[in-house]
Every structure is written in structure tokens, then in C-alpha cells.
């Protein structure tokens, strides 16, 4: 158990809908990262927040957004969902803000299926 | 840009066989290197890491040595078990916020 929690574990929705994925980092960790794991794209970094502020962006679509709240939990919002958004979404956390070589600890993921 | 290349799977071995999963990387500077494991239906778990050249990471009988001269971080285990069946990801962290992952290698161990 990494100490990172994600809810829900599974999510089934329809195209065009909007969903929110939630992540609670390990106690004491200030950074939260979101990753998408799909069959065709592999594991891709989406976005990072550090202590409430956006710190880095990766291959995140404009239909997707995230935020980190004062209690440090984070939410990833996915809107206007398409079939291709079906994937496993991971949250990870670390103590600092992407310090060189810092270890990230991953949650169990949320499996999203868009029908 | 930075990248990680690992051997394609699936890899199927018999129990107690020797395991090697190859991983090479391309990076500017001196990245930290990781192996993560994903068991069926679960999330990613950090298996081991190495932060500088010639460091050896080890955990649960798995080992990997950071080889700067060959830009490699091959995963090895002397005697695999059925419970080692999983997908293994080689990854690097080069100072930017994100971790860059390889494509993953699926390992299946026959009893």
C-alpha cells in the first residue's frame, strides 16, 4: 500500500459526459501528479500540482483539467468524453516539487470506460 | 528528449528460472532510474531505484545496476516465482516533474 488513495476504482460513463476523479496523496506529500495509461499510448504524464499550484503540464487535453485543494487532495476533471478517453488514470505523489530523481508513489488507479 | 526503451514482451519463464529484462535510456544529465511493477488489477508499485552511476537497486530478490557507460538499467532476478507474474516498467526521472516510462514488459511465470 503506497498511501495514495484514488476514488472511484471504476467508472463507466457515456460519450459527451463529464467525470471527476479524486486523489488523496500520502501524508506529508505536497506534489500530486496525474498519469494516463492506455493500450495505445502507454503511461503518459498529464499534469502536476505542488501545494495547490500547477507546476508542470504534459500531454493533457484541453477537455481535461485538474486542481489541488488546500487539504492537498486533487481532482482530475474530464469533460466531453470520447471513446478514446477510456483508460486507467493514476495519481502519484511525492514530498517535494519534482526534485531531481525524487520518487513518486502511485495510487491504485481509476479505470474509466467510456461507452 | 528523454526516453526509455525496454524489451518487448511477453516474457514467459518457468518457475526458478533466471530473469533479465533489458532497459536502456536516453537522457541529458544524470537521471534517476526506476523499476515499477504492476500486478494484475493493481496500480504501480516502486520495485527499486538507483540515483547515480554504478548504484545497484535491489528489492524482493530483484536487482538492477545503473550503467552510465551503456545507458542501461537491466532488471534481474536469480530465481523467479509464479507470484512475480506482472508487468514491469523501467522509468527515469531527469529533473523535470514527470517520470518517463518504458512501454512495459509483461512477465508470466509457469509453475
Least confident of A74-78, B5-9, B41-45, B64-68: B41-45
Average pLDDT on A82-93 reads: 95
Judged by a CB distance cut-off of 8 A, whether residue A89 touches chain B is: no
Point out the residue among A2, A42, A101 whose CB comes nearest to the CB of B45: A2
| Chain B residues touching A97 at Cβ < 8 A | 97
Q: Quote the minimal CA–CA distance from B28 to chain A in Å.
A: 13
Q: What pLDDT does B29 receive? A: 79
Average pLDDT on B53-73 reads: 96
B15-37 pLDDT tens trace: 999 999 999 999 887 889 999 99
Distance CA B37, CA A2 (A): 13
Q: CB neighbours of A70 closer than 8 A, spacing ≥ 6?
A: A52
Q: What pLDDT does A19 receive? A: 98
| Mutant choice from A2, A24, A106, A108 vs B, greatest count of B C-beta within 10 A | A106
A106 closest CA partner among A31, A16, A51, A13 = A31
Does the beta-carbon distance from B94 to A100 stay under 8 Å?
yes
Q: What percent of chain A has pLDDT over 70?
A: 96
A-contacting residues of B 44-103, CB under 8 Å?
A: 44-46, 49, 51, 89, 93-101, 103
Q: Quote the minimal CA–CA distance from B42 to chain A in Å.
A: 6
Residue with cell 516498467: B89
| Chain A residues touching B51 at Cβ < 8 A | 101
Radius of gyration of chain A (CA): 13
Q: How many C-beta atoms surround the C-beta of residue B29 within 10 A?
A: 8
Q: What pLDDT does A101 receive? A: 64
Residue with cell 537521471: B31
Read off the C-alpha cell for A61: 487535453
Average pLDDT on A72-94 reads: 96
B14 - beta bridge partners?
B110
Q: What pLDDT does A15 receive? A: 97
Q: What pLDDT does B13 receive? A: 96
How far is CA B97 from each of CA A77, A88, B3, B79, B85, rounded to the nearest angstrom?
20, 20, 14, 35, 30
Q: CB neighbours of A90 closer than 8 A, spacing ≥ 6?
A: A6, A34, A35, A36, A37, A43, A106, A107, A109, B43, B44
Q: How many C-beta atoms surround the C-beta of residue A58 within 10 A?
A: 17
Q: What pLDDT does A22 receive? A: 98
Least confident of A19-33, B42-56, B73-87, B95-109: B95-109
Distance CA B72, CA B6 (A): 10
| Mutant choice from B28, B51, B97, B99 vs A, greatest count of A C-beta within 10 A | B97
Q: What pLDDT does A33 receive? A: 93
Distance CA B87, CA B108 (A): 9
State yes or no: pLDDT of A99 exceeds 70.
no
Average pLDDT on A87-101 reads: 82
Read off the C-alpha cell for B49: 531505484
Residue with cell 503511461: A43
Distance CA B25, CA B69 (A): 11
| Residues A33 and A45: beta-carbon distance below 8 Å | yes
- DSSP secondary structure letter of residue A85: G
State yes or no: pLDDT of B41 exceeds 90.
no
Amino acid at each position: 500500500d503506497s498511501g495514495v488513495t484514488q476514488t472511484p476504482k471504476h467508472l463507466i460513463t457515456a460519450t459527451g459526459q463529464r467525470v471527476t476523479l479524486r486523489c488523496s496523496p500520502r501524508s506529508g506529500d505536497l506534489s500530486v501528479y496525474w498519469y494516463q495509461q492506455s493500450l495505445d499510448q502507454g503511461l503518459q504524464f498529464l499534469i502536476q500540482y505542488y501545494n495547490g499550484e500547477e507546476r508542470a503540464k504534459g500531454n493533457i487535453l484541453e477537455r481535461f483539467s485538474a486542481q489541488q485543494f488546500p487539504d492537498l487532495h486533487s481532482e482530475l476533471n474530464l469533460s466531453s468524453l470520447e471513446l478514446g478517453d477510456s483508460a486507467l488514470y493514476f495519481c502519484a505523489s511525492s514530498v517535494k516539487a519534482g526534485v531531481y530523481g525524487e520518487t513518486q508513489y502511485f495510487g491504485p488507479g481509476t479505470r474509466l470506460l467510456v461507452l | 528528449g528523454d526516453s526509455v526503451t525496454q524489451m518487448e514482451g511477453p516474457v514467459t519463464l518457468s518457475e526458478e528460472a533466471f530473469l533479465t529484462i533489458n532497459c536502456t535510456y536516453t537522457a541529458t544529465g544524470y537521471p534517476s532510474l526506476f523499476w515499477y511493477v504492476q500486478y494484475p488489477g493493481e496500480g504501480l508499485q516502486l520495485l527499486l531505484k538507483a540515483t547515480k552511476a554504478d548504484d545497484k537497486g535491489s528489492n524482493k530478490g530483484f536487482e538492477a545496476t545503473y550503467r552510465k557507460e551503456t545507458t542501461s538499467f537491466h532488471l534481474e532476478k536469480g530465481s523467479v516465482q509464479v507470484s512475480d507474474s506482472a508487468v514491469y516498467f523501467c522509468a527515469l526521472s531527469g529533473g523535470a516533474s514527470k517520470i518517463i516510462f518504458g512501454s512495459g514488459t509483461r512477465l508470466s511465470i509457469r509453475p
